[in-house]
């Protein structure tokens, strides 16, 4: 099972294996307080794409399309998350953005769900 959660929410045992999927460390958050098992910054959108998007909801559909293309080139990292899910049963993808609707974590989760349906 894949879950999604803002890193600023308190950790819970039900989170299972916690993976931060942002390319930048969350502002104002000490690494010791993060309670993450893995920081997979390589799976985040490229710096160029992140800066272009700038969390502009008007660019959301184009962002999703571009990020999916980036994820195609990062299929090994997607497979790694699926492997972690098999080993731990529950994986929580952590993100920091305030705009919970327009976050790369939703695009990644969509790709992971499609992988589950194909296997």
The DSSP letter of residue 102 is S
Percent residues over pLDDT 70 in the chain: 97
Whole-angstrom distance, CA of residue 93 vs CA of residue 91: 6
Distance (Å, whole) CA 88 – CA 37: 11
CA distance 33 to 29: 7
pLDDT of residue 112: 93
* pLDDT value of residue 118: 63
- What number of other Cβ atoms are within 10 A of residue 85's Cβ? 19
Which of the four pLDDT bands, split at 50, 70 and 90, describes residue 34? confident
Region of residue 4 (phi > 0: left; psi between -120 and 50: alpha; otherwise: beta): beta
Predicted TM-score (pTM) of this structure? 0.92
- For residue 77, the tally of other CB atoms under 10 A from its CB is 16
% of residues, the chain, pLDDT over 90: 82
d(CA 76, CA 119): 16
Summarize pLDDT for 36-54 with one digit per residue, the tens: 999 999 999 999 999 999 9
């Amino acid at each position: 099972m894949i879950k999604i959660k803002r890193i600023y929410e308190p950790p819970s045992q039900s989170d299972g294996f916690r993976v931060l999927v942002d390319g930048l460390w969350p502002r104002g958050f000490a690494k010791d307080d993060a309670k993450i098992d893995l920081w997979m910054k390589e799976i985040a959108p490229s710096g160029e794409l992140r800066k272009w998007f700038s969390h502009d909801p008007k660019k959301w559909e184009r962002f999703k399309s571009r990020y999916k293309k980036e994820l195609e080139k990062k299929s090994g990292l997607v497979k790694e998350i699926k492997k972690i899910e098999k080993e731990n049963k529950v994986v929580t993808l952590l993100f920091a953005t305030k705009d919970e609707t327009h976050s790369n974590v939703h695009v990644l989760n969509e790709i992971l769900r499609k992988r589950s349906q194909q296997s």
